A and B are shown apart, each in its own frame.
Chain A
Amino acid sequence: MPGPIQSIQRAAEVLKLLAHGGAHQLSVGEIARALDLAKPTVHGILRTLHEVGFVEQEVEGGKYRLGAALFQIGTSYLDGNELRAKALNWSDTLAMRAREAVRIGVMHGKHVLVVHHVFRPDNSRQTLDTGALLPWHATALGKALVAFGEWPDRDLRRFTRHTLSPEDLHTAMNEVRDRDWAYDLHELVEGEASIAAPIRDRRGVVVGAVGISGPVERLCESPDQPPRLELVSYVREAARSVSRELGGLSW
């Protein structure tokens, strides 16, 4: 068996160092000093990692941070069925408090895959839509997922006159990142609204989103106002509870 490959070992050291820094970004020089390597060596490693998307720079020639591709690899092993099992109690509780249907979504290519659905608790006839795909840009679930991941698609279909344009969507996504929750208002279906918040694993990586949906009259104070804050707090609490569950023991 051949020995370890030095350049892969060094690349791993670079990634660990960047991961350790968290939000703090590092320059080529800083990395070289920390790992006791020559600057050209580090530069070569970073250029290769940049090409595969494992590191990225805010500006050309600037400092480095971990890239989105790396997070996607890291998140891909959270099984959707596992997420449903862990989220079961909290999505039930959310449905009871909000009196609305609950869905949990994960990104699946360019769409949101519904991995769990809890009926609106009024015993009316409803159909389970676990396994359905939703457009990300016109749903709260999709916005809560994409705001913390990679923008999957620039070809954004308009479902209603309220579906956001790419420019408005950009602004909206910055708000989602700031507030840590998302909503849609008539954007997929006229008269319908949704609220969602991101679910994070123990590393803080967004691995799913949980949210409620229903008629605008129930979710919002008035048809052109953002959702009621009481409902938002229920959704965020559910997202936090599921996130806590993901960092805890297995069942």
Chain B
Amino acid sequence: MSYIAAIDQGTTSSRCIVFDQSGGIVSVAQREHRQIFPKPGWVEHDATEIWTNVQSVVRDALAQASLSHADIAAFGITNQRETTVVWDKATGEPVHNAIVWQDTRTDTLIKSLGHEDKFRERAGLPLATYFSGPKLRWLLDNVDGLRARAERGEVLFGTMDTWLIWNLTGRHVTDVTNASRTMLMNLETLDWDPEMVSAMDVPLSMLPEIRSSSEVYGTYEGVPVASALGDQQAALFGQTCFAPGEGKCTYGTGAFLLINTGDKPVHSRNGLLTTVGYKIGDEPAAYALEGAIAVTGALVQWFRDKVGLISSAAEIETLARTVDDNGGAYFVPAFSGLFAPYWRSDARGVIAGLTGYISRGHLARAVLEASAWQTREVVDAMNADSGVDLTTLRVDGGMTANNLLMQFLADVLDVPVVRPIVAETTCLGAAYAAGLAVGYWPSADALKANWHKAAEWEPSMEPAARARGYRKWKKAVERTVGWMDEDDD
């Protein structure tokens, strides 16, 4: 019996999950890495530490299940998207810490590049700090001598998929889903766009080759490395959303709602992103619309680590259940601005509706409810863009363990919320894509048979209460925008 090992290089940790042929989890290993905050708004990772952790979790996951490399049919990779690293081609040493997707240091650069919608047609993305191209440009502008070295072909650029594949196999490649988050790739040609590359002023020679999401890129310890997908696209794939109109929302540090739109990119009029969903070998790419919420699980972590009212993320549900409602408090966690559908980088977080009545239980409620209301706004935008109303929300990710949140989500969306039997859909998607590439699974249809409902939450909120809550939420959101001034760092 052989297995597929998925490597999930995430924002806070790296994990390796080993799956069997039914999609069941055989073992899990995880290591957290340091979050480096050099300045407010700046977030970095040590790419070398991440590579060391990835090697460790692979070793640990195999050891836990008493497996050797010979038992693994393929490795799949999924990764935090947009996080940018540049390294020395000869030594493999990063020239600077990786700049993480949440990092807002490119704010001024973004403003200087032009109108927000300048690249929307070609890249599917608004000009915003999250994407890799501007981060690469910042490194070229700010690391001593880097531009000259880049022009001499001495350094390479990559997102975390590329960094791992390069370390695992020696090849300098990325997949279409990760490339679609750089603001350098043309959505129609699925190749680097000369105009965007030159507007961003980055040397083409340091960019990786763009490949499909599911093919053998090379081998590590004799095992094929056979998939790469950005984490959200991997979750879409893991939820087997293969048909146009099928979608999912993953709740992790942030939350990301993606809907498969088929083999043509659909452009949003409501603040959503157009992105590549996946591309299996030589088959045509599947595109997706994406609604990104920056802060969901991160707000619970903040509540745990910075406020200290709970000692674990799961305890927030216990605290929230000490009260019956939010007591009128609304928490808009615009920590680094508002993402979809607003895209306001000048916004910052607020807690609105505070009175002397508000207790820590109410705050815990407001923290959880923030994830649900933010999802509601993205679903509304998605419905407007697609012209079809969502009838069920498929969810996954760690926060689906929170029953209070899942019930509230069904309540505010007024549709059933469904969790599939493998909540680890990100890893599962990477495993599926790798397994397809090496023939471990015969076809995408065979994967559909593995999808089963593990839990379902039915809406039970009174329409009037829903409308009132949504109105208050929108008023709270209004109070976040325009907070940042020109002279703020």
Contacts and interface: CB of A to CB of B under 8 A. Distances in A.
A121 B313 contact: no
19 contacts: A81-B314, A82-B312, A84-B401, A88-B400, A92-B24, A95-B452, A96-B23, A97-B24, A118-B421, A118-B455, A119-B452, A121-B421, A121-B452, A121-B453, A122-B452, A249-B30, A249-B32, A250-B312, A251-B398
Contacts of A84: 314, 401, 403
B205 interface: no
A117 B28 CA distance: 21
Interface string B399-427: 01111000000000000000001111000
A59 interface: no
A122 B451 CA distance: 9
A96 B24 contact: yes
A70 interface: no
Contacts, number: 87
A93 interface: yes
Interface of A: 79-82, 84-86, 88-90, 92-93, 95-97, 117-119, 121-123, 126-128, 130-131, 249-251
A89 B421 CA distance: 9
A64 B456 CA distance: 49
B25 interface: yes
A130 B403 contact: yes
Contacts of B400: 88
Interface of B: 22-25, 28, 30, 32, 312-318, 398, 400-403, 421-424, 452-457
Given A85-B398, A96-B421, 20 more contacts: A79-B312, A81-B316, A81-B317, A81-B403, A85-B313, A85-B314, A89-B422, A92-B421, A92-B422, A93-B25, A95-B421, A96-B22, A96-B24, A96-B422, A118-B455, A121-B454, A126-B453, A128-B455, A251-B313, A251-B398
Contacts of A127: 456
Nearest to A87: B401
Contacts of A128: 403, 455-457
Contact of B25 (A79, A89, A123, A251): A89
Contacts of B398: 85, 88, 251
A175 B371 CA distance: 47
Dominant secondary structure at the B interface: mixed
B454 A92 contact: yes
Nearest to B402: A81
A84 B456 CA distance: 16
Contacts of A90: 25
Contacts of A92: 24-25, 421-423, 454
A81 B368 CA distance: 14
Nearest to B320: A81
A119 B454 CA distance: 5
Contacts of B25: 89-90, 92-93
Contacts of A82: 312, 314-315
Contacts of B22: 96-97
Q: Quick one: which of B313, B314, B422 has the most chain A CB within 10 A?
A: B314
A99 to B, nearest CB: 9
B19 to A, nearest CB: 10
A79 B315 contact: yes
Contacts of B454: 92, 95, 118-119, 121
Given A79-B312, A79-B318, A249-B30, A89 B455 contact: no
Contacts of A96: 22-24, 421-422, 452
A90 B422 CA distance: 9
B305 to A, nearest CB: 12
Contacts of B24: 92-93, 96-97
Contacts of A118: 421, 454-455
Contacts of A95: 421, 452, 454
B315 A123 contact: no
A118 B455 CA distance: 6
Contacts of B317: 81
B380 to A, nearest CB: 26
A97 B421 CA distance: 11
A10 to B, nearest CB: 30
Nearest to A125: B456
Q: Which 3 pairs show the lowest CB-CB distances between chains A and B?
A: A121-B452, A85-B314, A82-B314
B23 to A, nearest CB: 7
A85 B313 CA distance: 9
A93 B403 CA distance: 19
A249 B455 CA distance: 26
Contacts of B30: 249, 251
